[in-house]
Amino acid sequence: MTSHQVVAVMGRGVLEAAEPVASGDDVGLTRGDGCFDATLVAWDGEGWLVHDLDDHLARLRRSATALEIEAPDDEAWIELIGDALERWTGGNVALKLVLTRGEEHRGEGPLAFLSLTALDEKTVAQREGIRVVTLPRGYPSDAFAAAPWLLGGVKTLSYAVNTSARREAARRGAEDALFVSADGYALEGPTSAVLWLRGGTLATTPVGATGILDSISRRTIWAADLPWSLAEELVTIPELLACEGVWFVSSVRGLAPVVELDGHALTPPADATALLRAAIGF
Amino acid sequence: MTSHQVVAVMGRGVLEAAEPVASGDDVGLTRGDGCFDATLVAWDGEGWLVHDLDDHLARLRRSATALEIEAPDDEAWIELIGDALERWTGGNVALKLVLTRGEEHRGEGPLAFLSLTALDEKTVAQREGIRVVTLPRGYPSDAFAAAPWLLGGVKTLSYAVNTSARREAARRGAEDALFVSADGYALEGPTSAVLWLRGGTLATTPVGATGILDSISRRTIWAADLPWSLAEELVTIPELLACEGVWFVSSVRGLAPVVELDGHALTPPADATALLRAAIGF
Q: What tens digit of pLDDT does each residue of B143-187 get?
A: 999 999 999 999 999 999 999 999 999 999 999 999 999 999 999
Same domain as B230, residue B253: yes
Q: How far is CA A191 from the centre of its chain?
A: 4
Query: Can you give the residue range of the structural domain that contains A239?
Result: 124-280
Question: Chain B contacts of A211, Cβ < 8 Å?
Answer: 138
Domain containing residue B235: CATH number: 3.20.10.10
Q: B223-274: per-residue pLDDT in tens?
A: 999 999 999 999 999 999 999 999 999 999 999 999 999 999 999 999 999 9
Same domain as A193, residue A82: no
pLDDT exceeds cutoff 70 at B21: yes
Are B29 and A106 an interchain contact pair (Cβ–Cβ within 8 Å)? Answer: no
Same domain as B175, residue B271: yes
Strand B20-23 relative to strand A20-23, pairing: antiparallel
Last residue of a domain, one of A119, A149, A171: A119
Buried b (16+ CB within 10 A) or exposed e, B96-134: bbbbbbbbbeeeeebbbbbbbbbbeeeeeebeebbbbbb
Q: How far is CA A251 from the centre of its chain?
A: 6
Question: Chain A contacts of B182, Cβ < 8 Å?
Answer: 139-140, 143, 182
CB of A170 within 8 Å of a chain B CB? The answer is no
Strand, helix or coil for residue A186: strand
Q: From residue A176, how far is each of A15, A164, A193, B138 by CA, in Å? A: 33, 11, 12, 24
Task: Point out the residue among A32, A114, A182 whose CB comes nearest to the CB of B158.
Answer: A32
Query: How far apart are the C-alpha atoms of A111 and A98, rounded to whole Å?
Result: 8
Domain containing residue A11: CATH number: 3.30.470.10
Domain count, chain A: 2
- Which of B7, B149, B163 to probe by mutation at the A interface, max A CB count within 10 Å? B149
Same domain as A159, residue A246: yes
Percent of chain B residues past pLDDT 90, beyond the cut: 94
pLDDT band at B123 (very low <50, low <70, confident <90, very high): very high
The reported pLDDT for the residue numbered A36 is 98
Q: Which residues pair with A94 in a beta bridge?
A: A40, A117
Instruction: Name the closest residue on chain A to residue B143, using Cα atoms.
Output: A138
Last residue of a domain, one of A89, A119, A149: A119
Instruction: Name the closest residue on chain B to residue A159, using Cα atoms.
Output: B31
Q: From residue A148, how far is each of A55, A68, B108, B116 by CA, in Å? A: 22, 12, 37, 32
3-class secondary structure per residue, B211-234: CCCCCHHHHHHHCCCCCCEEEECC
Same domain as A132, residue A76: no
Question: Chain A contacts of B168, Cβ < 8 Å?
Answer: 148-149
Task: Point out the residue among B15, B19, B32 whose CB comes nearest to the CB of A160.
Answer: B32
CB of B17 within 8 Å of a chain A CB? The answer is yes
Mean pLDDT of A197-224: 98
- For A163-170, the CB contacts below 8 A with 24+ separation are A163/A190, A163/B27, A163/B31, A163/B33, A164/B67, A164/B149, A164/B150, A164/B151, A165/A135, A165/A190, A165/B149, A166/A190, A166/A191, A167/B68, A167/B149, A168/A133, A168/A135, A168/B148, A168/B149, A169/A132, A169/A133, A169/A135
Same domain as B194, residue B169: yes
Strand, helix or coil for residue A59: helix
Same domain as A137, residue A112: no
Are B5 and A135 an interchain contact pair (Cβ–Cβ within 8 Å)? Answer: no
- Which of B2, B31, B144, B210 to probe by mutation at the A interface, max A CB count within 10 Å? B31
Same domain as A129, residue A88: no
Are B21 and A18 an interchain contact pair (Cβ–Cβ within 8 Å)? Answer: no
Same domain as B209, residue B129: yes
Are A33 and B117 an interchain contact pair (Cβ–Cβ within 8 Å)? Answer: no
pLDDT band at B17 (very low <50, low <70, confident <90, very high): confident
Same domain as B196, residue B76: no
- Other CB atoms within a 10 A radius of the CB of residue B195 amount to 26
Are A29 and B25 an interchain contact pair (Cβ–Cβ within 8 Å)? Answer: no
pLDDT exceeds cutoff 60 at A27: yes
Last residue of a domain, one of B86, B119, B152: B119
Task: Point out the residue among A29, A115, A164 whose CB comes nearest to the CB of B28.
Answer: A29
Task: Point out the residue among A137, A140, A177 whose CB comes nearest to the CB of B182.
Answer: A140
Same domain as B145, residue B32: no
Q: From residue B177, how far is each of A22, A104, B161, B180 by CA, in Å? A: 28, 20, 11, 9
Model ipTM value: 0.96
Mean pLDDT of A16-41: 95
CB of A137 within 8 Å of a chain B CB? The answer is yes
Q: Could you tell me if residue B250 is left (phi over 0), alpha (psi between -120 and 50 degrees) or otherwise beta?
A: beta
Q: A148-202: per-residue pLDDT in tens?
A: 999 999 999 999 999 999 999 999 999 999 999 999 999 999 999 999 999 999 9
Same domain as A128, residue A101: no
Instruction: Name the closest residue on chain B to residue A164, using Cα atoms.
Output: B149
Task: Point out the residue among A30, A156, A167 whose CB comes nearest to the CB of B96.
Answer: A30
Question: Chain A contacts of B17, Cβ < 8 Å?
Answer: 23-25
The reported pLDDT for the residue numbered A1 is 38
Percent of chain B residues past pLDDT 70, beyond the cut: 99
